[in-house]
Amino acid sequence: MKKIKYSEITPEKIYNNRRSFVKSIGFGASSLAISSLPFLNNAIGNEQNNLTSYKDITTYNNYYEFGTSKGDPYKNSKNFKTKPWEISIEGEVEKPIKISMDEISKSFTSEERIYRLRCVEGWSMVIPWMGFSLSKLLSKVNPTSKAKFVAFESVYDPEQMKGQRYPVLNWPYKEGLRIDEAMHPLTTVVTGLYNKELPNQNGAPLRIFIPWKYGFKSAKAIVKIKLIEKMPTSSWMWASPREYGFYSNVNPNVDHPRWSQATERIIGEGIWAPRVKTLMFNGYGDEVANLYTGMDLKKYF
């Protein structure tokens, strides 16, 4: 799948209006709201490219720092303090820096980037992120020739993040990319979504997003970016190395040891919508497949 152009996608307003339009007919026509019947409120056909609603994007999250249920992050992150915020970029770089969130917002213009998110659990969304390429941020520090990998570290604050009071994962959350993956233009520093500030439950104030990898690779609430020579161990690799590899590229041909990755459910499409086939590299193969030429992706999963 190609990058989805904004013009190809129904804007949120019209998208939402569609539902309220159906709803108004429903209320008018009978005492039973037609739109509340799940098999009627979904347009027929493939909606793989339709934007997921703001509500679903912001209430259905995997963010174990705020709890392991999908609704927990929305409930438990309301009072999370994201101001002030500082990010340290360090390691194999010529000019390590500590940069504040304000400075980042001033120095880099965020643009709308509509990407598909595929969770390792087998569901997907289409999200209109606001952000810019990570390569721009990294060019500020001049990585040295020893910088082969990039390690991301999320905030550790069990006072505010009650999920961190339990050893579900080894806190703080850690993720990593190979340097060429990190420098790829699709790898995005996210600062917002739906043209609004990034909500806390989606990783405020700053997260990364790598559209061709399973969602857990895209670390949230980042405080440290370290360029290093050796491959880092991510939190999920540490938790279960047999199940979660360093690359974690979306790949319908390599199953999770316990469940299939061949298909996915699209969030918000309702109960009668079929599963859709998962695409290699989540549909971004044209852009990123060349990063992995000659690699056995079954071995380097």
Partner 1 sequence: MKKYYKPSIFFLSLIPFVLIFYKIIFNKLGPEPVKEITHFTGEWTLLFIIFTLSMSPLKKITKLNIWISFRRMLGLFIFFYATLHMLTYVVIDYRLDFQSISKDILTKKFIFVGFAAWVLLLPLALTSSRKALFYLKDKWKKLHRLIYVIAILGVTHFIWLVKKDLTEPLIYTVIILILLLFRFKFRRIKN
Taking the least distance from each CB to partner 1, the nearer of 100 and 263 is: 263
Q: Least distance to partner 1 from the beta carbon of 253, Å?
A: 13
Taking the least distance from each CB to partner 1, the nearer of 55 and 81 is: 55
Strands 86-91 and 222-228, by their bridges, are: parallel
Q: Least distance to partner 1 from the beta carbon of 272, Å?
A: 8
Instruction: Detail the DSSP E strand segments found in 101-183.
Output: 111-118, 123-133, 149-154, 174-178
Taking the least distance from each CB to partner 1, the nearer of 123 and 301 is: 123
Residues that bind partner 1 (CB under 8 A): 36-38, 41, 56, 59-60, 64, 68, 70, 120-121, 123, 168-169, 239-240, 255, 258-260, 262-263, 265, 267-268, 270-272, 274-275
Taking the least distance from each CB to partner 1, the nearer of 169 and 183 is: 169
The Cα 104–Cα 102 span in angstroms is: 5
Q: Least distance to partner 1 from the beta carbon of 263, Å?
A: 7
Q: Least distance to partner 1 from the beta carbon of 209, Å?
A: 19
Taking the least distance from each CB to partner 1, the nearer of 121 and 157 is: 121
At 220, give phi and psi (nearest 5°). Answer: -110, 165
Q: Least distance to partner 1 from the beta carbon of 161, Å?
A: 15
Taking the least distance from each CB to partner 1, the nearer of 90 and 121 is: 121
- The CA-to-CA distance between both ends of the chain, in Å, stands at 21
Q: Least distance to partner 1 from the beta carbon of 142, Å?
A: 38
Place of tokens 């109960």: 271
Q: Least distance to partner 1 from the beta carbon of 192, Å?
A: 21
13 sits in which H/E element: helix 12-29
Helix, strand, coil shares, percent, the chain, to 5: 25, 25, 50
At 129, give phi and psi (nearest 5°). Answer: -75, 160
Taking the least distance from each CB to partner 1, the nearer of 7 and 31 is: 31
239 sits in which H/E element: helix 235-239
- Do residues 188 and 173 make contact, with C-beta atoms less than 8 angstroms apart? no
3-state SS, residue 95: coil
Nearest to 137 by CA among 56, 174, 191: 191
Question: Residue 295's CB: how many other CB atoms inside 10 A?
Answer: 11
